[in-house]
Structure 1
Amino acid sequence: HYRIGVHIADVSYFVQEQTPLDNEAAQRTTSVYLVERVIPMLPRLLCDRLCSLNPNEDRLTYSVIWTMNEEGEILDEQFSRSIIRSCVKLSYEHAQDIIENPNKDFKAGDFPAISNNFSVNDITRTVLELYGISKILRSKRVGALTLNQPKLQYQIKTDSKMPMSFSIYQQKESNRLVEEYMLLANMQVARKLCSTDRIHDKVILRRHPAPNATTLQNTIKMLASSGIKLDGQSSNDISQAVKSAQDEPAKKLLIHLLAKSMQLAIYCCTSCVPDNNYSHYALNVNFYTHFTSPIRRYPDILVHRLLGAVLDYNDNLYQTPGALEQIAQLCNEKKMNAKTCSERSAELYLAVLIR
């Protein structure tokens, strides 16, 4: 059996309700990512120091800890506040190197400093075991749909901040490893909150409606005229169609066309959702929330407070369900604004390169 933990900085400990800091974060709702810089939701003291899970330093976290077997089945699950001291800060590149070279004799110099009496072998073994289980977890998410659009990344001059070149961002197995456990933590926290009677009407969820029926049917007809059959009755149908694309260009075109029929995922308060339809279409799950990024997303802070109330660490949220729905709507608006800003920033840098 494996004991696997997802540990997320306890931002709600530092950002107390109804304080000036909380009010400012509630207005910003999100960090904004530009090509050359980040406009943070929270002060740098929190982002870069107090809430950064630096190695060999005690840090406050909310933790979801599972006992799993080799088939990725959850045998036991715990939610708690905790204090962690991580032993090493691996980059995605470090983890990818381990995944691609499982039999390599890594040395201490291949990684950042390792503390707490752990060895290089401990690190490589843990990464490979986490990777193995993450692949099983991914295979179990039947019907989950991923329509990743190409994303540009730039190499920037340090002094002038001007772009030198760009490339297409490539998601690697190390990214997918982390993503899988983040998804699981978000899903399990959502289930935990929604199954607790005293707060079930105040839960902030991430809801993804089904595709726009008219747009999807038009896309299906257009694809059919090109010999591509697509049922489109479920996210699994669409996912299988993407996987069966003959080559990479065809796959990218298919993703582009299908993405146009997708609706946006939104934040919502459970008491304000018609017909109690909380499901997330793309992930093909009944309950989903955002728990794993409280440093850069305000809804995650609310979810941490709700989890704290469930675990009797703090009182219930002071806001009414109606007030929480208003916050959720503001988060939706600000998230869209931040996304647009990020895209415009990338377009501007591309224009500079190709002028």
Structure 2
Amino acid sequence: MAKRRGPKIFGGVPRKKAKQEEKKKKEENVEKRTRKVPANSIFRDEYADYLVGHFYGECLKVSKISYLASLLLLYKVNEAFDNDDHDYFITTNGKKEIRKIFTAVARIDGEFTNQMPDEFKEMVEELTNNEFEWPSRDLMGNAFEYMHQQYLSNVTTQHTTHCEKELAYFLQMKRYQFNQEPYRLFKFDDIDIRNAIESIMRNKDWSEGDPVRKFKMNELFVAVKERCLPSFGDYLTMTQYIEKKWFESLYFFIQIQREISEFKAEHQQLVHAWLRHKKKPLLFEKPTQPLPPKIRNITVVPLCDNKLKHIRFDHKDLLALLARWKLIPEEFA
């Protein structure tokens, strides 16, 4: 009779499922990992000089167009504000307006479209002694579309990201101004600013039933509401208003940007007087007015700097470039 074998024993401990999944994710991440390398290191030697020159020229175009377009957008919204043109902010399709502005500052076939204000063109040329070379968007392909879409994304997220901080600057200014009014029965403080921000940004009442706190919260709320266009009243919060009516909300941000600028200029000497007194209290007398709050001004629309910017280059642009250089038939582009 054959001898029976005992149970087979495995010496190793099987991996837990979590560890197996973790290992799998690491392996997947390794496969998707990318590296940044100099452009000329991936070009074939016979094409390297041409391609580097081509991409540098395209990056220069994008940089110029973005810089000019952001300035033109700022020029147009300020001009509409100065003219008290509420309809411009209320009825304009912001997405189409930005594309129109990018199209306006770039020549096509050596000519401008009729969308650029003459005053803006003359201002740019005058500042550069009529030696400025306006950029061209000839043969840019999809890079032009990617460029203005990226700027559109920057504009639409500018105030949704920074609104609460910008609102706090404005409310600190209003608190100081309210507290300087001699007929005010109640002084405003940081808690009132917090309550107003919660009400405006999140539709929450943090006054805890205190009638004085509620009154001051409403005062600050009204100070914001009366600087917005009427559509503000259609939404429960400032966040919703900016997300749904981001172009219209630029009117509010221009308004508070100018008020903050005026406030800072008006109180500049007072701030210096306080600084002198704090450094040398025995030499310089203490000012009779309170020290103004330390607030920063806001950015109405993001302005592109003059640094060289990158471009996006997709397969359609590649085919168009190869066809232009007679490396493939034009019908393949």
Give the TM-score, by structure 1 length: 0.23
Higher percent of residues as helix = 2
Higher percent of residues as strand = 1
Greater CA radius of gyration, 1 or 2? 2
